Amino acid sequence: MTELCTRVRALSEETAAATVADRRHLHAHPELSFAGHATVRYVRERLDALHIPYRKVAGTGLVAEIRGGSGPTVALRADMDALPIQEKNEVAYRSQTPGVMHACGHDVHTAALLGAARILLPLKDRLGGTVRLLFQPGEEKLPGGATLMLRDGALENPVPQAIFGQHVHPPLPAGTVGFRPGIYMASTDELFMTVCGRGGHGAMPHQTVDPIVITAQVITALQQLVSRETDPTLPVVLTFGRIESEGGATNIIPNAVHLQGTLRTLDEDWRKELHQRLRRTAEGIAAALGGTAELEVRHGYPFLKNNEALTRWAQAEARTLLGEDRVVDLPIRMTGEDFAFYSHRLPACFYRLGVGGPGHANSPVHTDTFDVDEGCLRTGASLLAWFALRRLT
């Protein structure tokens, strides 16, 4: 194992320039969810140059395979879409697409998976099976590209014995990775609610049914579903991030108010129950105050669960490749990820890739100043390759 570890590290260094070039190209040419035509074309060109066969799936996704022996299959996944954000970084590779930016690191994920392929090819004779590379579109937008990858058979014929995915994490320095066995990330549902009343003059509220006042009561009551009806040991988040009225002014009571929010949990049964309680509570309070409330729940991603045995194995393997001090434990997160769909189908491990470093703002993901220490690409590529090699050696 020592010889193989040394070889993977050396190949990571030898291919680092190409991996950085991939990341910079992708960062400079971001595309939104399910519109990544140039992105997938670029990935196809790289795979063609490496003579790695692939097939198209999920519209703008790819499934590629590096085939070794006749043993099992291991899947490695990267998402490819960007966000509707105008980049503020003044770097040579800044986004050239107005209003679109790789602010969540999916350019890093895609480049690292291509880098892993470059590392694996010279070691193909060591593979006692097949490495399946999933280049997935649309992680940032419902229904989630993972659902379309599954629909198109990305995890079939045969079903992989395990799947690995990684995500950039600015709080961790480049060269470091983090793991959490078991339940790790929350389910995510989108909420859209309309509260209707009867508008009128703000100085004569008795002649109206004020939907703004009703909305205030509804929001307060719905938060009590979290604070008073949810088991205190079960994490739940309910947030309304957008509230708008129809028309209105300082002295006008509108006819309706529109709300948008998110619901996140770590328990699928309680998630379903909350859907019903949210709707029942909103409708009841609005009716009691003379108005109406209609709630639409757009089902998002389930909670993400890391297979306990696989993730502890991955932690140990990461320590072997990177060093004991480069692997940390992670807390539960209430953010969501469509990798969760894979985690409910087969043993899965989703971990965090440190990207922070000197000279970088270390801005959070989904901000207009997000960037990475590109040393993270060597870690990301080598670790993906190492996991595949160790599972199939």
- Residue 215 CA to residue 344 CA, distance in Å, equals 36
Query: Does residue 81 carry a catalytic annotation?
Result: yes
Q: Which SS3 state, helix, strand or coil, does residue 312 take?
A: helix
Paired tokens of 7: 């070889």
How many of the other CB atoms lie within 10 Å of CB of 151?
Answer: 11
DSSP 183: E
Query: Does residue 139 carry a catalytic annotation?
Result: yes
Active-site choice (87, 139, 189, 373): 139
Q: Which SS3 state, helix, strand or coil, does residue 293 take?
A: strand
Q: Which SS3 state, helix, strand or coil, does residue 392 take?
A: helix
Paired tokens of 364: 């959070």
What is the four-CA torsion angle of 157, 158, 164, 168, rounded to 10 degrees? Answer: -10
CB contact at 8 A, 138 and 145: yes
Active-site choice (22, 31, 79, 81): 81
- Residue 137 CA to residue 61 CA, distance in Å, equals 5
Complete DSSP assignment for 113-175: HHHHHHHHGGGGGG-SSEEEEEEE--TTSTT-HHHHHHHTTTT-SSPPSEEEEEEEEEEEETT
- Residue 219 CA to residue 43 CA, distance in Å, equals 45
The 10 Å CB-count burial string (b at 16+, else e) for 20-59 is bebbbbbbbbbbbbbbbeebbebbeebbeeeebebeebbe
Paired tokens of 72: 């099992």
Catalytic site positions: 81, 139
